[in-house]
Amino acid sequence: MFKRNPWRYKASDFRLQQSIFVEEIEEINREDIYMRIFVTGGAGYIGSILVRELLQKGYEVTVLDLMLFGDKGLEDIIGEKRLKIIEADVRTYSPDLMIGHDVVIDLAAISQPDPLNKIDENIFYEINYLAATRTAKLATKKGAKRYIFTSTCSVYGFQDNVVNETSSPNPLENYAKTKYMAEQEMQKINGLCKTILRLATVYGYSPKMRFDLVVNAMTLTLYKYGKIRVGRPGTQKRPVVHVKDVVNAIIGVLEAPHDIVCNEIFNVGSNEQNYRVLDIAYEIFRALNKEPNIEFYGELDTRSYVVDFSKIKRVLGFTCRYTVADGAREICKALHEGILSYEPWTRVIDWWYELISKGLIKSIGAKVDLI
């Protein structure tokens, strides 16, 4: 498991530190700070890039993360004076930790389907639904002006027609179902500027890497074994988006006028990156100057979905800057330079299985306080 670093607050520390922390917040000279942002799951795949960008733009950031996947995503920015990191469970953290924050960005989730159904569905329910609902309600109660929630295009399920934000969701497994449940609950909350972002499948290099996402997994396999494995038949379509584009979309919402983002849902991605899975593989071969070598696997699965990303472009002027080729090249470069390597925690669902088997994460039932 991971060794805890001394720079982090643990949740238990706040029995002693909480009053000191709140006093510090109250003493801050607001004129010296542009905005204070509370990020759940901020040490994760998306969060570790988002936090850096927020700091670079002058924001003050509080990260709340249980660090079940370690702290690698943030280890090189430890000591930044505008960064506070709190080690706590998103289901049970003290409400007072949110005092003084202007914006809440809610990334915390079990962010991958569970194909083997090994994870207690109550854990999905508690983290992806109850905890997200709790965080949104706390944002309202503790005075935050905005709340940004990352959901998933998987809420649409597999559909024959191109789907957009007005399409009827059809979530098919616990990950998508609990994300959609949280979306529905948030839309009932009044007095808060809420924005829901439905992300395409994310790819690209991150300090807290994931190799269980299609582009990243294909790139790793090609780098290590000289081939790419593709699920049959390869013609099934999926939307993908670079992690840096996701971060740019989040910041775009953060900095947009209230009236164009409040109580809105945006799909995050680009129409050009609705790919056949087989074409993703060919993009990677071309990017890395490799001869195509494809190994098909699995049962025939022709289920597809194609997403329309026009709304975010029309409303916010958002366009994706990065391509699958960019993602493949940066991952391969990081692997070659030893910056990046395959680790057990880079496959999210497998690591969750490990944590659960060791009793390090479990259902807490009625202990999730919905405020």
Amino acid at residue number 3: K
Per-residue b/e over 336-356, b at no fewer than 16 CB within 10 Å?
A: eeeebeeeebbbbbbbbebbb
Q: Are strands 193-199 and 264-268 parallel, antiparallel or unpaired?
A: parallel
- CB-based contact 64:86 (threshold 8 Å): yes
Could you give the number of structural domains in the chain? 1
Q: What is the pLDDT of residues 57-106, one digit of tens each?
A: 999 999 999 999 989 999 999 889 999 999 999 999 999 999 999 999 99
Residue 329, both tokens:
């090249």
- CB-based contact 334:340 (threshold 8 Å): yes
In a domain, 2, yes or no: no
In a domain, 181, yes or no: yes
In the three-class reduction of DSSP (H, G, I as helix; E, B as strand; rest coil), residue 209 is classed as: coil
Position 368 scores a pLDDT of 64
Position 10 scores a pLDDT of 55
Does position 367 have pLDDT exceeding 80, yes or no?
no
- CB-based contact 159:226 (threshold 8 Å): no
| Average pLDDT of span 274-290 | 98
- The distance between the two most distant Cα atoms of the chain, rounded to a whole number of Å, is 61
Residues 6+ apart with CB under 8 A from 128: 109, 110, 174, 175, 178, 179, 181, 182
CATH of residue 120: 3.40.50.720
Give the residue numbers spanning the domain of 350.
9-367
In a domain, 1, yes or no: no
pLDDT class of 34 with cuts at 50, 70, 90? low
Half-sphere CA count of 342, side-chain side, radius 13 A: 13
Residue 335, both tokens:
């692997």
| Average pLDDT of span 324-348 | 96
List alpha helices for 187-293, DSSP H: 214-225, 243-255, 258-261, 277-287
pLDDT class of 370 with cuts at 50, 70, 90? low
pLDDT class of 301 with cuts at 50, 70, 90? confident
Per-residue b/e over 266-305, b at no fewer than 16 CB within 10 Å?
A: bbbbbeebbbbbbebbbbbbebbebeeeeeeeeeeeeeeb
